[in-house]
Amino acid sequence: MIKLKAVIVEDSRLARNELKELIKVHKEIEIIGEAENVDDAFKLINNTKPDLLFLDINMPEKDGFELLEMLDDVPITIFTTAFDEYAIKSFEYNAFDYLLKPINQKRFSKSIEKVIESISKNETTTITKNENALSLEKQIFIKDGENCWLVKLKDISLFEIVGNYTRVYFDGKKPLIYKSLAQVEEKLPTEVFFRANRQQIININHVKKVVSWFNGKLKIEMNSGEEIEISRRQSYLFKEQLSF
């Protein structure tokens, strides 16, 4: 049976207790910590490395979105909130689910079942090709202001989030395109392009060096000199992709 370590981040003690009652039904989940504000949650998550995060949005001083931006290695995140207006924004932060308070047991359990199913698939499924992926020889038209380039996909070493834009690295150039990293990722062949973390996708054919880093992470150096940290969660998949 899959065992999941979970952290609850919620400023209301009553809401934390209600969430713990919902979790009791699921023996596969172990609550390893609670926090009532973002700063305490940041320390707790970095120290305990949970698999699953139950996260409120509206909290004093900093909100749940700010917490996710602070983290290098983001756990599977389920938002728990009384407000529905943040739903779209939550999925921009790769939220796994968005639960509206008051949360009933049936809805909560359905979410947990999906988490377990997703983890099981990731553990048993090898890297599959993206059916919508472009050929590595495909020439991509890139426009940044008045500057334009035609560049083969195989020559792009790195894609990186910059606000609402994505920075494209190739041949010493770093133009910005008005597309999200998720939109870009949909067109990339997964056998060559790898999601290193929430902010960056790398071309593994442009990797110069890989070294072990802190807390199970990897640090890589690209041929062009950029240094990239691969999150703890992604490091395992990276090793799998490059192994025989």
3-class secondary structure for 89-130? HHHHCCCCEEEECCCCHHHHHHHHHHHHHHHHHHHHCCCCCC
The pLDDT value given to residue 226: 94
CA–CA distance, 211 with 87 (Å, rounded to integer)? 38
Amino acid at 159: F
Average pLDDT over residues 50-75: 91
User: pLDDT band for position 244 (50/70/90)?
Assistant: low
Per-residue pLDDT tens digits for 208-218: 999 987 777 89
User: pLDDT band for position 221 (50/70/90)?
Assistant: very high
CA–CA distance, 123 with 3 (Å, rounded to integer)? 13
SS3 242: helix
Q: Is 169 left (phi over 0), alpha (psi -120 to 50) or beta?
A: beta
Per-residue pLDDT tens digits for 180-194: 888 898 899 988 999
Question: What's the CATH number for 139-242?
Answer: 2.40.50.1020
Q: What is the DSSP string of 6-34?
A: EEEE-S-HHHHHHHHHHHTT-TTEEEEEE
* Domain ranges (residues) in the chain: 4-123, 139-242
- CA-wise closest residue to 205 among 219, 218, 191, 195: 191
Average pLDDT over residues 76-80: 94
| Better pLDDT: 130 or 110 | 110
The pLDDT value given to residue 130: 58
Question: What's the CATH number for 4-123?
Answer: 3.40.50.2300
Other beta carbons within 10 angstroms of residue 108's beta carbon come to 21
Per-residue pLDDT tens digits for 35-62: 999 999 999 999 999 999 999 999 988 9
Instruction: Name the helix (H) or strand (E) containing 183.
Output: helix 181-185
The model's pTM is 0.57
Of 46-60, 61-75, 125-139, which has the strongest mean pLDDT? 46-60
102 alpha carbon, distance to own chain's centre: 27
